[in-house]
Amino acid sequence: MRAIIQRVTKATVTVGEEEISSIGRGLCVLLGVSVEDTQKDADYIVRKILNLRLFEDEAGRAWTKSVVDRDFEVLCVSQFTLQCVLKGNKPDFHSAMPAELAQPFYHSILENLRSSYKPELIKDGRFGAYMQVHIQNDGPVTIDLTSPMGPSDPRQLSKQEKQQQRKEKTRSKGPSESSREKGAARSRRDPNASSGADGDVSSDREP
């Protein structure tokens, strides 16, 4: 699950000519649900939205208060395009949860936010509608948040897999073989280098 969290002075959602939702100071959250997301992902995102310290305190000290601490509003807007994977220059949205599953899941996230905070301060757009979202970013401050349970970037996943494979190959080698390889490498770099067995290296060490 991915959320773009923006600190705002105000934000509104319009469908057609109708303004369906608006907030004053607080957070505007664009939320993209992945096909692999579970309740754990939703709980993580809800917890972060309500607890991120993006606001100043009464003394003006920055990054000390959350939206809950300041009694500010939250506007959530469902945005499946956050789950985009580019194929060349063409966006692909197969990673996004299908609408018939995403809608009840998204609404459960809203209910979680309302039950964890003041329900009258949680606003949302209109799921599946063509919306105009007007955001007056304050700062600007924008946090790009991805739940740890969510799917990894395919390129990053491939990189991690290759790193894991290298580690497994290293572990599969016996310690004696690994030591021989290291010794041979040292010899190739400097045939006259000492391994320290004669005491010339250890003599400089503290006892």
Q: Report residue 45 as tokens.
A: 């995102």
In a domain, 206, yes or no: no
Instruction: Report the alpha-carbon distance of residue 155 to residue 167 in Å, rounded.
Output: 19
In a domain, 173, yes or no: no
Split into its structural domains, the chain has a count of 1
Omega of the bond leading into 98 within 30 degrees of 0 (cis): no
pLDDT band at 204, cuts 50/70/90? Answer: very low
In a domain, 62, yes or no: yes
In a domain, 168, yes or no: no
Specify the length of the chain in residues: 207
Instruction: Report the alpha-carbon distance of residue 115 to residue 113 in Å, rounded.
Output: 6
What is the tens place of the pLDDT at every residue in 122-165?
Answer: 999 999 999 999 999 999 999 999 999 544 555 555 555 566 66
Residue 207 has what pLDDT? Answer: 43
Q: Report residue 104 as tokens.
A: 């009840």
Pairing of strands 73-78, 26-32: parallel
Instruction: Report the alpha-carbon distance of residue 6 to residue 29 in Å, rounded.
Output: 6
Q: Give me the domain span that covers residue 71.
A: 2-147
Domain CATH code at residue 130: 3.50.80.10
Q: What is the pTM of this model?
A: 0.71
